């Protein structure tokens, strides 16, 4: 069983009325920001949301399939982008480790592990429980980063967003584009943007 799934099972087995213990376990045992985000999504989907009978977004909401903003293009992260995503992750591993804290991606992180991660993102996207978008150059030739839109268990927020960009790229255009996009095209009133 992959490490992310093992950690998710441990977390989900914790008492649902002990979210602090879940977060403490997360911070002390998760080395990958992807795995941290995945487990955070799993926790929220399985019990931390106020109303677990409702999906993350309204049933009648049509999930945007892309965004074009300046020189950036966002598309749902799918296995189609696995190699380009892997190249961006490995090219930016030092920056990702600093940004998210921890050792992800490990120096030995493989394309196959990345493909497994992407498949899990695809499943959550299809289930409307979490939305992960790859950030592409406008010509689609290069992955420049990633945007994660997740459920949040903090009162006062409808969603939370994490994002990163490839080494040498500025995050400012992406941040501005994503904030405008979520304000205009998504059903959220209050979004928690994590520092990048």
pTM to 2 decimals? 0.74
Inter-axis angle of helices 33-43 and 93-100, to 10 degrees? 40
User: Would you kindly state where each structural domain of the chain is located, as residue ranges?
Assistant: 56-193
Please give the angle made by the CA atoms of 192, 47 and 24, to the nearest 5 degrees.
65
What pLDDT, in 10s, does the model give residues 9-57?
A: 333 433 333 444 444 444 444 445 555 555 555 555 444 444 433 468 9
Do 86 and 146 form a contact (C-beta atoms < 8 A)?
A: no
C-alpha–C-alpha distance, residues 28 and 95, integer Å = 20
Record the tokens describing residue 61, joined without a space.
């909401």
Overall CATH class of domain 56-193: alpha beta
């Amino acid at each position: 069983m992959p490490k992310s799934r093992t950690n998710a099972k441990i977390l989900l087995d914790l008492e649902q009325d002990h979210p602090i213990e879940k977060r403490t376990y997360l911070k002390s045992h998760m080395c990958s920001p992807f795995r941290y985000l995945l487990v955070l999504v799993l926790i929220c989907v399985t019990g931390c949301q106020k109303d677990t009978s409702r999906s993350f977004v309204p049933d009648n909401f049509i999930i945007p399939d892309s965004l074009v903003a300046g020189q950036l293009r966002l598309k749902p992260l799918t296995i189609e982008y696995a190699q380009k995503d892997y190249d961006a992750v490995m090219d930016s591993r030092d920056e990702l480790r600093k940004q998210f804290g921890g050792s992800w991606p490990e120096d030995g992180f493989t394309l196959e592990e990345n493909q497994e991660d992407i498949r899990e993102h695809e499943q959550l996207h299809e289930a409307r429980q979490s939305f992960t978008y790859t950030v592409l150059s406008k010509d689609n030739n290069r992955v420049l980063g990633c945007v994660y839109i997740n459920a949040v268990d903090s009162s006062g927020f409808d969603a939370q967003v994490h994002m990163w960009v490839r080494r040498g790229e500025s995050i400012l255009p992406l941040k501005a584009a994503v904030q405008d996009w979520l304000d205009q095209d998504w059903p959220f009133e209050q979004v928690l943007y994590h520092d990048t």
